[in-house]
Amino acid sequence: MVRWNEPGFRAILPDAVDGLNSVVGKSPEQMQAVFEGNAKQREAVMSVFNLFEDIGLAVRTGYADSGSLCQYFSEPASRYFSKTKPWLEYYRQQTGRHGAYEQYEWLCQKWDKGCPVGSLQK
């Protein structure tokens, strides 16, 4: 949560949202072309992906409380992932990084079933 609320990270979110909005409805190849054509948006989207990858890893290993984080992050995590899932699969194939953002994907699948009760909610 700290990283999400840092001024520097908050400053990139408009670029990430613009990046997402610019790829909606496009094929994975077209999405790739959009990201290649706008480094600022690509870096912003990837920064958000990296954050959710870290959260996914922390939740999966028990380092972080899934229920509490889910209440705060499930909507943006799902929104970013659902809009870019076709591109992510394309990215994995093209780069050979087949495990890229697998913790993020796992997290979205977990949270799409609903938020568990967190320790802060008890």
pLDDT tens per residue across span 45-93: 999 999 999 999 999 999 999 998 999 999 999 999 999 999 999 999 9
Question: For the purposes of burial, counting CB atoms within 10 Å of the CB of 122, is it exposed (0-12), middle (13-18) or buried (19 or more)?
Answer: exposed
Contact 71, 118 (CB under 8 A): yes
CA dist 20 and 24 (Å) reads: 7
Q: How many domains does the chain have?
A: 1
Does the residue 122 lie in any domain? no
Domain membership flag for residue 72: yes
Residue 88 resides in a domain: yes
Judge whether 120 lies within some domain. no
Number of H helices, E strands in the chain: 6, 0
Global pTM reads 0.89
CB atoms within 10 A of CB 40: 12
Residue 86 resides in a domain: yes
